[in-house]
């Protein structure tokens, strides 16, 4: 075989994988993140109570409610990814997310259509929650299956690299718009711009997703499922999908345990920190958004480094070390954020460097915990439940405790969540470099009493 001729084709296939997964993931995270970024500007357009603080809390409540749909999205699109293919599932989720963004951007205000405005907002966020709940497990599974086993951690960092590029795009757009437009203009129409752009970007991402090829790991499992003469322990699609799913309770509980600390920390420091700094710390909106953008650049830069480190020394030691250090630093970092854009940038950067360890590694770790036939749904359902229950409520709880004068209670809550994730890691075997086609036997052994 001519290996020199094969290498360019493999490189082209890798680029297509990165662009297809990355573009769609970035667009979905852009759509998801701009809601929190621009909430302070459009809250009064959907809830015209006359109390800006109450309107913001109601808007953040819908942000949390949007997470309710994520477990259903994880189940629906996870099932689709495990039965019909990762590529099809990823194409459908990106189309649904882009459509939801366009609806929000074009919805009339409360003063025009009354209670229908917040109802449309709610339905659009539920649709996006459904899409985002299915996007992550399908995309994480796809990139993990396409990656060389010895580089799976580094490849899997693409999920949060591309997602953070989407978040960064939304934050930068917020910073630019808040500089070009007056606060009145931002409230009147400026906030609509990113949502409309999200819908347009969604079309491009859909085209890129439709050009992806299915993973060989899934195709091999599908072939074994169709071959009834295959060995009993072959990695195949299960004849009873839901029975196979509920037969892995320990692995699913571990996904929840691993996710709680990461999702609370991520949504507070990577997503809602600029908005919280504006509303609770009194930092100038443009300065806070630029601080958040700078910290996100730091986050993106260190993600592949954490993934590469986990490929060398293992998933467990990397995650445990970063998680413990973050838990120790949360209270000092909260104090450091202060009321200055510069201190906000410094605190966010330190927090995000440590959060990046979990963000880079867990997509690979989740995939290494489940067999091919239930890999997307096995991680997607419990992951979405954990994100809905803990990540989706984090910005609301942070604002609520700040409003009653007890912000330290929320920080303590985040520390406890990180402790739960660390304890979960201590109960798990090391999975670095595991052959995903052989996960069935390994999972069976870890589930034995």
pLDDT of residue 439: 63
Name which residue leads in pLDDT, 76 or 228.
76
CA 6 to each of CA 9, 58, 150, 215, 395: distance values in angstroms, whole numbers, following the listed order:
5, 56, 20, 18, 49
- List the structure tokens of 359: 């963000």
pLDDT of residue 92: 93
Quick one: pLDDT at residue 245?
67
Which pLDDT score, from 0 to 100, does residue 438 have?
67
Residues 285-308, mean pLDDT to the nearest whole number: 91
> Which pLDDT tens digit goes with each residue over 230-287?
333 445 555 566 676 677 788 889 999 999 999 999 988 987 888 888 878 888 887 8
CATH architecture under which domain 21-219+238-444 falls: Up-down Bundle (1.20)
Q: What is the pLDDT of residue 12?
A: 64
Would you state the pLDDT for residue 53? 75
Higher pLDDT, 129 or 50: 129
Which of 10-24, 307-321, 347-361, 418-432 has the lowest average pLDDT? 10-24
Q: Which of 306-310, 336-340, 383-387, 434-438 has the lowest mean pLDDT?
A: 434-438
- How does residue 318 score in pLDDT terms, banded at 50, 70 and 90? very high
Mean pLDDT of 295-306: 95
Residue 427, class by beta-carbon neighbours within 10 Å (0-12 exposed, 13-18 middle, 19+ buried)? exposed
Looking at residue 271, its pLDDT comes to: 78
Does the predicted model carry a pTM greater than 0.75? Answer: yes
> Among 206-220, 232-246, 365-379, 400-414, which is the least confidently predicted range?
232-246
Give CA–CA dist 98/439, Å, rounded: 34
Residue 365 confidence class, pLDDT cut points 50, 70, 90 = very high
Higher pLDDT, 444 or 58: 58
Q: How confident is the model at residue 3 (pLDDT cuts 50, 70, 90)?
A: very low
Give the angle subtended at the CA of 101 by the CAs of 206 and 213, to the nearest 5°: 15
Please compute the mean of the pLDDT values over residues 147-173 and round it to a whole number. Answer: 89
pLDDT at 223: 65
Confidence of residue 38 (pLDDT cuts 50, 70, 90): confident
* Dihedrals phi, psi of 132, to nearest 5 degrees: -70, -35
Q: What is the mean pLDDT of the chain?
A: 84
Give the residue among 86, 58, 4, 10 at the shortest CA–CA distance from 379. Answer: 86
Residue 11: its pLDDT value, please? 58
Distance between CA atoms of residues 129 and 52, nearest Å: 25
Question: Is residue 4's pLDDT more than 70?
Answer: no
75/377 Cα distance (integer angstroms): 6
Query: How much is the pLDDT for 440?
Result: 53
Distance of CA 137 to the CA centre of its chain: 10
Residues 183, 312: Cα–Cα separation, whole Å = 49
Select the more confidently predicted residue: 42 or 333.
333
Count of alpha carbons within 13 Å of 70, Cβ hemisphere only? 25
Better-predicted residue by pLDDT, 124 or 448: 124
pLDDT value for 6: 46
Give me 11's structure tokens: 């490189």
> 345 and 413 in contact (C-beta within 8 Å)?
no
* pLDDT mean over 376-387: 86
Report domain extents, the chain. 21-219+238-444
Mean predicted confidence (pLDDT) in 101-113: 88
pLDDT average, residue stretch 416-425? 96
Neighbours of 145 (CB within 10 A): 23
Tens of pLDDT, residues 178-212: 888 888 888 888 889 999 999 999 888 998 898 88
């Amino acid at each position: 075989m001519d290996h020199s001729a094969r290498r360019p084709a493999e490189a082209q296939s890798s680029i297509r994988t990165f662009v297809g997964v990355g573009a769609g993931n970035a667009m979905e995270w852009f759509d998801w993140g701009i809601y929190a970024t621009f909430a302070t500007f459009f809250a009064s357009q959907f809830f015209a109570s006359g109390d800006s603080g109450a309107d913001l809390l109601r808007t953040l409540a819908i942000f949390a409610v949007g997470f309710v749909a994520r477990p259903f999205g994880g189940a629906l699109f996870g099932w689709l990814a495990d039965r019909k293919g990762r590529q099809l599932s990823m194409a459908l989720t990106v189309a649904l997310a882009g459509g939801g963004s366009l609806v929000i951007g074009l919805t009339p205000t409360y003063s025009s259509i009354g209670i229908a405005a917040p109802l449309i907002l709610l339905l659009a966020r539920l649709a996006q929650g459904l899409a985002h709940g299915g996007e992550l497990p399908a995309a994480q599974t796809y990139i993990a299956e396409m990656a060389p086993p010895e580089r799976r951690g580094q490849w899997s960092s693409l999920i949060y690299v591309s997602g953070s590029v989407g978040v960064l795009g939304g934050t930068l757009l917020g910073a630019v718009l808040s500089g070009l437009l007056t606060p009145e203009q931002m409230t009147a129409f400026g906030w609509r711009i990113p949502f409309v752009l999200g819908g347009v970007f969604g079309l491009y991402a859909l085209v890129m997703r439709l050009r992806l090829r299915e993973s060989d790991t899934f195709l091999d499992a599908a072939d074994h499922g169709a071959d009834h003469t295959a060995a009993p322990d072959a990695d195949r699609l299960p004849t009873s999908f839901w029975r196979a799913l509920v037969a892995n309770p320990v692995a699913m509980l571990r996904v929840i345990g691993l996710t709680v600390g990461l999702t609370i920390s991520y949504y507070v420091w990577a997503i809602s920190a600029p908005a919280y700094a504006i509303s609770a710390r009194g930092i100038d909106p443009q300065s806070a958004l630029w601080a958040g953008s700078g910290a996100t650049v730091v986050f993106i830069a260190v993600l592949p480094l954490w993934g590469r480190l986990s490929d060398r020394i293992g998933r467990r030691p990397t995650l445990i070390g970063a998680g413990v250090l973050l838990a120790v630093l949360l209270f000092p970092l909260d104090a450091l954020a202060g009321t200055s854009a510069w201190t906000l940038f410094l605190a966010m950067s330190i927090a995000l460097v440590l959060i990046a360890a979990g963000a880079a590694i867990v997509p690979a770790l989740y995939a290494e915990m489940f067999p091919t036939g239930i890999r997307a749904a096995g991680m997607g359902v419990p992951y979405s439940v954990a994100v809905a229950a803990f990540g989706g409520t984090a910005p609301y709880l942070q604002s609520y405790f700040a409003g009653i004068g007890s912000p330290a209670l929320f920080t303590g809550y985040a520390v406890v969540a990180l402790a739960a994730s660390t304890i979960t890691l201590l109960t798990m075997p090391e999975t670095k470099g595991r052959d995903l086609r052989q996960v069935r036997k390994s999972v069976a052994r870890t589930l034995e009493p």
